[in-house]
Structure formats: structure tokens, C-alpha cells
Amino acid sequence: MINLDALTYAGNPQNLNGLPIAHHIFHKGDIGNIELVTDLLSKYQPRVIINFAAESHVDRSILGAEAFVQTNVLGTLRLLEASRNYWEALPASRQVEFRFLHVSTDEVYGSLLPDESPFQETTAYQPNSPYAASKASSDHLVRAFHETYELPTLVTNCSNNYGPYQFPEKLIPLMILNAVNMRELPVYGDGQNVRDWLYVEDHCTALDKVLTEGKVGETYNIGGRCELSNNEVVEQICEIIDGEVPAPTPRKTLIKYVEDRKGHDRRYAVDCSKIERELGWFPRESFSSGLMKTVRWYLTNPEWSRNVTSGKYREWLDLNYRNRA
């Protein structure tokens, strides 16, 4: 397995320690560097390319959209170009086996009203944040490379992930670390926004299924069938941490309602019946078991957290949270 990673602010080589995969080769670099990608493809001759690379944090995209277009749109385009050149030059027997899997998000579908049905693969795209718009654009490019050049692509649109190693700008790890350290828990708006949560390893098993059994040119939605409001998520985190690391006052007293995210999507929910029905994929973890594992991982890996929450991370907290009333 060849891993190409630009190691931007959220990347961390420590995340690869103890990876139980033989022949793992790491390269620091950008998917948008077409010469580098072309060299790697010609050197290692992969059977499959998975595009996990993305700028992924909505709040960052609100403060500056350009990096999102650079990586998610142009980066994906260049990766597609290099992949297409590589694939076209393969012998026919290897061309049939080749797959390009593009990992995307349910945010491309926009926001749901409380009584609307969950997103299906056929739901019209309606991205609301610069991040979602950049991912929508990359999905369209992948589709176009399949339709135009017959590149054997697959696209997945997944709901909110959580689990070990998640960078603590996202809701769950941010709240865990703040709660452990008895810091304020900044909930945007009224905390009634709903997300559909999936444990990261369940996302990985879904990707494996799509890669091995998915139909070329298709899109598969992936979700946890686990809709929860942010208030419910934060309260569960507080309860677990109170149980694991007792404190004089319950952690929920640390909840602070702060100014809402601009254009904040109210509700996401994914209809994952296609991947269940066609590929037989189901998540293994419930939200409570996955959350318990996640909290315990952060509690037993304080050094990892210390390493990723240094200077630049504190600058981000200051930028994002300082001026929220």
C-alpha cells in the first residue's frame, strides 16, 4: 500500500504507528502534484486508487475557501488526470481490475427539514458551505471522468465520522478534550442541529465493500442510521467522561451556547439501503459502544492529543471561537 499525504495541519505521521499492514510505504506529497503522482503510479503500479485527501472542516472553509478549491477540486482533477493516463496505458487484463474510489460526504446534498426523508443517491446536490461545494464539484469531476473517458470510478458519500485519531477541530474530539480538561463546551446555536453518526471503522468496512463488490460508475451512500442532535451528543460525552474521570461538578455544566455557524445545515441523515441491499454492508458499532471506545482512546493517548494541540491548533481555536458571543 502506498500512502500519499501532504501532511497539512491535520496530518500526523504518528497516526500510522503500529499500522497492521505489510508493505506500507509512505510518501509526503500533494495529490495536485501531477508529476509526483505520475511517478508513483509508474513505480508502484497500483490496482486501486482511493482518494481520501481533502480539506474537510466546514468552519475553516467559512473563514477561507481557497484551500478547499485547491485541494478538493484542483487536487482531485489532477489525481484523475494522472490516474486516467496511467489506466489508459495498462494492458487490458489490468484495466478491467482497476478502480478509482472517491471518498466524499453527505454534505453535498444540503440540509434536511425535520420531516424530510434521508438523502438517497439520487437526491439533488445542494451544497451550502464552501467545503460542501468543493466536495460536490470533485464528485462531479469523478462522474465526468467515468462518463467521458470510462475511467472505472466509484463514489461514496458518507455521514459524520468519529473515532480515534480524529483531529480535535471536529465536534466529538473537541468536546472530549475540552470536557476532560474541564474547559467550556462551545455548542453552536441552539444545539438542535442533527447529524447521522458513524464509527470510523464501519466507514472503512463500507469502503472495502464498495471497492471489492461495488458496481463501476455507481455512487453509494454510507451512514449510521444514527441521527442525534448536537445536544444529545455532547451530553453523552459528558456522562461517559464523568464516569471515567469523576469531577466535582458534572461536565454538562460546562456547556456554553455560542454564536451559530454561518449557513449552519440543520439536519443530515443518510439512507444507506442501497449499500445494505446490494453489498450486504451494515455498521457493527452502536453509537454508545463507538463513543465509549473513542473516549477511552483519547483518555489513554494524551500524548497524541498534546502533540496535535500545539501552537497552530491554539491559533485556530482563538480564530474560530474568540468572537462568538
Q: Whole-number minimum distance, CB 270 to ligand DAU, in Å?
A: 8
Number of residues that bind ligand DAU (CB under 6 A): 19
Question: Are the C-beta atoms of 246 and 207 separated by less than 8 Å?
Answer: no
Cell numbers describing residue 321? 471561537
Q: Whole-number minimum distance, CB 191 to ligand DAU, in Å?
A: 6
- Please tell me the distance from the alpha carbon of residue 70 to that of residue 2, in angstroms, as a whole number: 22
Q: Label residue 124 exposed, middle or buried (CB < 10 Å: 0-12, 13-18, 19+).
A: exposed
Of the ranges 81-89, 114-122, 170-178, 294-302, which one interacts with ligand DAU (CB under 6 A)?
A: 170-178
What are the start-end ranges of the E strands in the chain? 2-5, 25-28, 48-51, 99-105, 153-158, 160-162, 185-188, 194-199, 219-222, 227-229, 255-258
The C-alpha angle 16, 21, 23, rounded to 5 degrees, equals 100
DSSP H/E element including 272: none
DSSP H/E element including 32: none
Catalytic site residue from 5, 55, 106, 271: 106
Burial letters 7-39, b for 16+ CB under 10 A, else e: eeebeeeebeeeeeeeeeeeeebbbbbeebbbe
232 tagged catalytic? no
Q: Whole-number minimum distance, CB 21 to ligand DAU, in Å?
A: 24
From 50, 71, 103, 107, residue interacting with ligand DAU (rule: CB under 6 A):
107
From 51, 123, 138, 160, residue interacting with ligand DAU (rule: CB under 6 A):
160
107 tagged catalytic? yes
Of the ranges 51-59, 83-91, 113-121, 310-318, which one interacts with ligand DAU (CB under 6 A)?
A: 51-59
Nearer to ligand DAU, 261 or 293 (CB): 261
Q: By CB under 6 A, tell whether 57 contacts ligand DAU.
A: yes
Which of 167, 168, 232 lies closest to 196 in space, CA to CA?
232
Q: By CB under 6 A, tell whether 170 contacts ligand DAU.
A: yes
Going edge to edge, which strands form the sheet with 160-162?
160-162, 194-199, 227-229
* Nearest position to ligand DAU, beta carbon: 105
DSSP H/E element including 192: none
From 195, 209, 251, 267, residue interacting with ligand DAU (rule: CB under 6 A):
195
Q: By CB under 6 A, tell whether 269 contacts ligand DAU.
A: no
208 tagged catalytic? no
Q: By CB under 6 A, tell whether 268 contacts ligand DAU.
A: yes
Nearer to ligand DAU, 97 or 315 (CB): 315
- Please tell me the distance from the alpha carbon of residue 298 to that of residue 290, in angstroms, as a whole number: 13
Q: By CB under 6 A, tell whether 68 contacts ligand DAU.
A: no
Of the ranges 4-12, 186-194, 200-208, 277-285, which one interacts with ligand DAU (CB under 6 A)?
A: 186-194
From 5, 106, 227, 235, residue interacting with ligand DAU (rule: CB under 6 A):
106
Q: Active-site residue numbers? A: 106-107, 131
Q: Which residues of this protein are in contact with ligand DAU, per CB under 6 A?
A: 56-58, 105-107, 159-160, 170-171, 174, 186-188, 193, 195, 230, 261, 268
